[in-house]
Structure 1
């Protein structure tokens, strides 16, 4: 996915040509314009990136291009031409002729888009059969070729999705999307949940899949640095409109719109390194001593040791399978170490039982990556926030209700949010509710497991600001797990780099990032995409 041209694509040569597109949800007083007068052309061999915060219209635009708008939405104006044909009035049977054949989709979450009960190879076979009548042997040959192009060994076709790593599942989706050699591949946040080294391999692989075929890529992402590195043209969307577009060099080198500049200023890697906190009396809240954990005889964590001082943030970084999450679960007392010990304020966590374990649960709370999955969708926000208070026997009905409103105010949400359910909130709002829930029992240590990886840069910056403010105001201590080194550079005092279950480098964030000693740390840092342009706001 290297730039192929600095010029806009002529309309006559476009694979997809969108003119004046308006997409509306609902009607009458409930009408909401999600896409408002968008023009976009995508030509052969071109990589176009659409960027913008949640609610900017990116996903609705993609759904319109694919003919997958929900029944509550409709195209009320404008045209979408695919290979010269206007698709805005097409029926589902019409779409089946090009969806998967002329336009392929690589979605964000492979586990939600792969059938868990079917082997991967069978699912790719089905994608071939849906569009081409071929003998069984030729179908298998097409799938094998797609696997090879996607960087997966042929033997992997017999495995089920749960037997693949996150990166391998994403490669499987690339194989499925490209098996019919489409003219356009739409990659919708294809690497947002992946660590930087796997991210680079996936994007390189995606580029190799379309290399020489003339296929174009529409990359939808909230990662501006990734867009700058990989795209020919950038389209910046806000409130359903295109507010700026042009070559990557023009948009990110000399942004003209205030919103584009605001997005760029929110990129974590572009912000200064956090100044190390120095408590008056530094005390150790968490100590991990020679921790090892195996599953089925296979080591996931191997002789890991670190300390976390009160009021500070320690980040665990490394690629998928490095042992970060297993270490975090041990710190939360959710698994029993195979060897070694975890101490919370000098007490061995594994030895806690009954009332002492209950007290520990109150003092150590988690914030998970996906707030929609970690919040009960049937509960209102009020009930979500009151639940831990009730579970720990804190206060009475009246005081719990008051505490719920206080928590919302603490995380910057309006009191009216109490009556809403998670599905009625944006991603950033849901994550704020998750943070509020973690704070409900007034913990001392919070384990943050990829808390901002699924958020766009503006919301991500807001949540990181919130976490830092809460840490300063409440004296919180964070164990912060992330694959985003830009985020880590901004929020962490210290960092531990993990690979294959071991810590290979450990020290202050400034020291580790500015003077890495281990080859693996240098590889991680080298894989981080960069805007590579000065930022002036």
Structure 2
């Protein structure tokens, strides 16, 4: 095979606050052959994106490539001038970013942006580039490939936009494509479609690629070889099958272990059956003509953790915000210890604010970058408890210890902390109020696997120590099952399934829950080809009644029934194992369908 990429002794340094350059990549060596996919994997700060960007001769602000060589074919890109690099980027090497939404220009049509690099590099005329773009749209399984290019970025879904960015990267037939966490921000049901499209195009076109990720299960589906990084150093460089079956380095083994969520111990937790802390009754919320929450009933017992799972747009965050008073429900009731909570913030007391705290998904935007950690934690201590002076400083130190951070961090600002540390501060700020209920909104979704596992361990520890209750929101059903006593599955604003954690270990499930479970990548090669998630043939049905009360999953359900599912609102059915589902099928119906029809949801 022909060697396309050869990296030798690559070193990168970053300038700290004192103007001193600190090495962050320490002599990386690896190579790629034509048509090979190499994965760079590791925790946040391991250097994987820094190395990937160096393949284009690029270093982020505050960083500098200090040594080594990066050969793409016969050219060392680190020796090229800025002018020469502009001829390489987008032509010889192309880049697919993590956030397509941030990468696209909202004021230009999709087609104009996809063909732009071909026009800049003069590889195709506009008409030729347009024809090739449509071909790529078709290969990437995009809907309406002939016309989707006329739309603007905000008019397509996140998964479609990510595939459109792949078309943009491939339009010039580059020698190397860099995929930088391209599915990290996507739901599992969307991720599986994007992975299938990426893999199909990469294999059929013989593309040489570098795939950056922190998810070993994902790269197991995409990569021929995996390079494991930690603190800017290569720990292991092995074939994918070899690394998954017999990892050579202890750090690789720790990454593999973190990919398998285990149930967190709940010993010492005093959740009492009849001690209900939070109750939600008949909650509905409209955004204009869109019904965002549909008749939601929910209970959270004192000292318990209830998980809310669903893809983007399912209503899970809207539910949490409604409980917190950040959005006002149209109808319904929220009770805290049996006492009504006002639907809006203006009607709530300071004591009610204190008892229900919110931990936001993105600590970067939740924490004031100009305030020190001590100032951030001191504010709720003063607001809720009137603390000042030495007593407040002592409590700040205690809070840092509670979230397993050193007291020395108190003088730092958020920008000086890692992602995991910032999320711990985000949690400590909520704990400063001494709440009864914490609403955790996707608190691990932006973190790598190892750091996310540590946050889950911390939440479990705090629950044991403080007997605090959680409403834990996530799009990862494996995470939810590892930490929650009860699981609520939401789809399009409706609660489609609810049950104890133990009941989510075996079928039958609501068809949407089946899809969520089957869409979670497993850590072996070939899973992507084997799984039937999202491949079901949908039964033909007639026209549907125009009613918001019909099954929300109707358009995607592989077991829908004509003249019932499209005509009659589904009832809430109690399955034998205890789960409640919103469906026309019962235990026997689901099992008969699984056995006789061999539907892929089973």
TM-score (norm 1): 0.91
CA shift for structure 1 position 393: 5.7
Residue 109 of structure 2 corresponds to residue 127 of structure 1: no
Greater displacement, 27-36 / 86-95:
27-36
Decide which of 185, 210, 215 is 2:177's aligned counterpart: 185
Distance 1:356-1:501 versus aligned 2 partners, 3 A rule: closer
Q: Alignment partner of 2:465: what SS?
A: helix
In 2, the alpha carbon distance for the partners of 1:100 and 1:83 equals 16
Residue 384 of structure 2 corresponds to residue 395 of structure 1: no
Decide which of 507, 510, 516 is 2:499's aligned counterpart: 507
Larger Rg: 2
1:129-278 map, 5 Å: 129-132=119-122, 134-152=124-142, 153-154=144-145, 155-269=147-261, 271-272=262-263
Provide the residue aligned with 1:64 in structure 2: 54
Provide the residue aligned with 1:21 in structure 2: 10
CA shift for structure 1 position 421: 1.4
CA shift for structure 1 position 361: 1.8
CA shift for structure 1 position 400: 2.7
1:112-511 map, 5 Å: 112-132=102-122, 134-152=124-142, 153-154=144-145, 155-269=147-261, 271-272=262-263, 279-280=271-272, 282-351=274-343, 356-392=348-384, 394-511=386-503
Q: Deviations over 1:110-136 (max 9, x none)?
A: 232222333333322333322226544
Please say if residues 325 and 343 of structure 2, whose CA atoms lie closer than 8 Å, have aligned partners that are also in contact.
no
CA shift for structure 1 position 333: 1.3
In 2, the alpha carbon distance for the partners of 1:491 and 1:79 equals 46
In 2, the alpha carbon distance for the partners of 1:532 and 1:168 equals 26
Residue 73 of structure 2 corresponds to residue 83 of structure 1: yes
In 2, the alpha carbon distance for the partners of 1:397 and 1:117 equals 51
Greater displacement, 172-181 / 360-369:
172-181
Greater displacement, 295-304 / 23-32:
23-32
Greater displacement, 95-104 / 440-449:
95-104
Q: Alignment partner of 1:211: what SS?
A: helix
Distance 1:348-1:138 versus aligned 2 partners, 3 A rule: farther
In 2, the alpha carbon distance for the partners of 1:48 and 1:92 equals 27
Please say if residues 268 and 461 of structure 1, whose CA atoms lie closer than 8 Å, have aligned partners that are also in contact.
no
Q: Alignment partner of 1:127: what SS?
A: helix
Provide structure 1 residue ranges, at least 5 long, that are not aligned to the other structure. 1-9
Please say if residues 268 and 490 of structure 1, whose CA atoms lie closer than 8 Å, have aligned partners that are also in contact.
no
Q: Alignment partner of 1:437: what SS?
A: helix
Distance 1:361-1:127 versus aligned 2 partners, 3 A rule: farther
CA shift for structure 1 position 309: 1.0
Q: Deviations over 1:157-207 (max 9, x none)?
A: 344433433323322322222222223221111111221111111111112
Provide structure 2 residue ranges, at least 5 long, that are not aligned to the other structure. 526-602
Greater relative contact order, per chain length (Cα 8 Å cut-off, separation 6+): 1
TM-score (norm 2): 0.81
Q: Please report the RMSD computed on the Cα atoms of aligned residues, expressed in angstroms.
A: 2.4
In 1, the alpha carbon distance for the partners of 2:160 and 2:329 equals 28
Please say if residues 41 and 214 of structure 2, whose CA atoms lie closer than 8 Å, have aligned partners that are also in contact.
yes
Distance 1:92-1:73 versus aligned 2 partners, 3 A rule: same
In 2, the alpha carbon distance for the partners of 1:272 and 1:495 equals 13
Q: Deviations over 1:413-457 (max 9, x none)?
A: 112211211111111111111111111111111111110112112
Please say if residues 278 and 335 of structure 2, whose CA atoms lie closer than 8 Å, have aligned partners that are also in contact.
yes
CA shift for structure 1 position 88: 1.5
Decide which of 34, 43, 47 is 2:37's aligned counterpart: 47
